Amino acid sequence: MSETLLEVRDLVKHFPVGGGVLSKKTGIVRAVDGVSFDLHRGETLGLVGESGCGKTTTGRCILQLERPTSGTIRFQGEELTTLPPTAMRKLRRHMQVIFQDPYSSLNPRMTIGQIIEEPLKVHAIVTEAPARAERARDLLTQVGLLPQHAKRYPHQLSGGQRQRVGIARALAMEPALIVCDEPVSALDVSIQAQIVNLLEDLQGRFGLTYLFIAHDLSVVRHISDRVVVMYLGKVVEIADRTSLYEAPLHPYTRALLSAVPIPDPKLEARREHIVLRGEVPSPLNPPSGCVFHPRCPVAIARCAAEVPALREITPGHCAACHLA
């Protein structure tokens, strides 16, 4: 097992609702509720779940874009939650993010070259302007674009090309960790595969570590070494890719996987589809016991009363279910 790059323990992020200056706090949204996992150097960890499960908030807490309510986040041996702002600014260059919508994250008034050069200038990584421009052109070719794209503006590029620029900007910082937050979900399916392949290729070339946040289980399967499944702010299952996809232990993971289409029509017609009843409950008022119990097809009486602990069922394969 390689070195642990990131260690998240009992991470909690609650958002008060109501509130404001004049009104009283009316409740708490439990967006992330006790999440723990490790990320090893050089691996890709998929973080999956439906919209609202807390995966993006978990990513934002790791990047310190949100202040966690409690819990610890150790990155390269440093505890981020207590790090002074100046030390955090220095460390930030080693943690980069690729967003879902590259268009809204690229300044429309700057050329692509300026966008990629900006962090190099701000963090004084390359101090001379001609060398910065050269580095930007080099980064563009690393992500499959042309040096002349440096002179264009974001609106002159396609969605896939803009996402390549977002990747080049992240790479400019020579980061140890890249948080990829739904990096392909806004792109056409044909372009999605190209971007995922590019991310894999860059990982091989530069030894990158990815936290890959996505709701699409087929994309996560393609790129991840291990996968964390979240439901309503909690981790319900962690396993390596093969164990998770071939022998899922948690009823929620089984239901998610049963909804992923198989390309073979004969196999697709024969397999069982698990339809979950109802909607995901509100994180403002999560169910008692196992938060999945109102929708779980195999729930027993104990499930409504007792929170299942995340337990290691087989080596490296953990699930939070009384029946696992």
Binding mask 200-239 for ligand SF4 (x = CB under 6 A): ----------------------------------------
- Residue 320 and residue 235 in contact, taking contact as beta carbons nearer than 8 Å: yes
Q: How far is it, in rounded angstroms, from Cα 286 to Cα 50?
A: 15
Q: How far is it, in rounded angstroms, from Cα 60 to Cα 213?
A: 11
CB closer to ligand SF4 out of 179 and 236: 236
CB closer to ligand SF4 out of 96 and 243: 243
CB closer to ligand SF4 out of 172 and 303: 303
- Residue 65 and residue 92 in contact, taking contact as beta carbons nearer than 8 Å: no
93 near ligand SF4 (CB under 6 A): no
CB closer to ligand SF4 out of 181 and 237: 237
323 near ligand SF4 (CB under 6 A): yes
Count of chain residues binding ligand SF4 (CB under 6 A): 13
In angstroms, what is the minimal distance from the CB of 286 to ligand SF4?
13
CB closer to ligand SF4 out of 81 and 258: 258
Q: How far is it, in rounded angstroms, from Cα 273 to Cα 261?
A: 10
CB closer to ligand SF4 out of 30 and 250: 250
Helix/strand/coil percent split, the chain, to 5: 35, 25, 40
Among 45, 120, 299, 310, binds ligand SF4 (CB under 6 A): 299
Residue 122 dihedral angles phi and psi, to the nearest 5°: -60, -45
Alpha-carbon separation of residue 139 from 91, 119, 167, 170 (angstroms): 22, 13, 9, 10
298 near ligand SF4 (CB under 6 A): yes
Say which DSSP state 283 is in: T
Nearest to 291 by CA among 215, 239, 236: 236
CB closer to ligand SF4 out of 205 and 311: 311
54 near ligand SF4 (CB under 6 A): no
In terms of Cβ atoms closer than 10 Å to its own Cβ (0-12, 13-18, 19+), residue 216 is: middle
In angstroms, what is the minimal distance from the CB of 298 to ligand SF4?
5
In angstroms, what is the minimal distance from the CB of 236 to ligand SF4?
7
Among 182, 292, 310, 318, binds ligand SF4 (CB under 6 A): 292
Displacement of CA 149 from its chain's centroid (Å): 28
Residues engaged in binding ligand SF4 (CB under 6 A): 250-251, 290, 292-293, 296, 298-299, 303, 308, 321-323
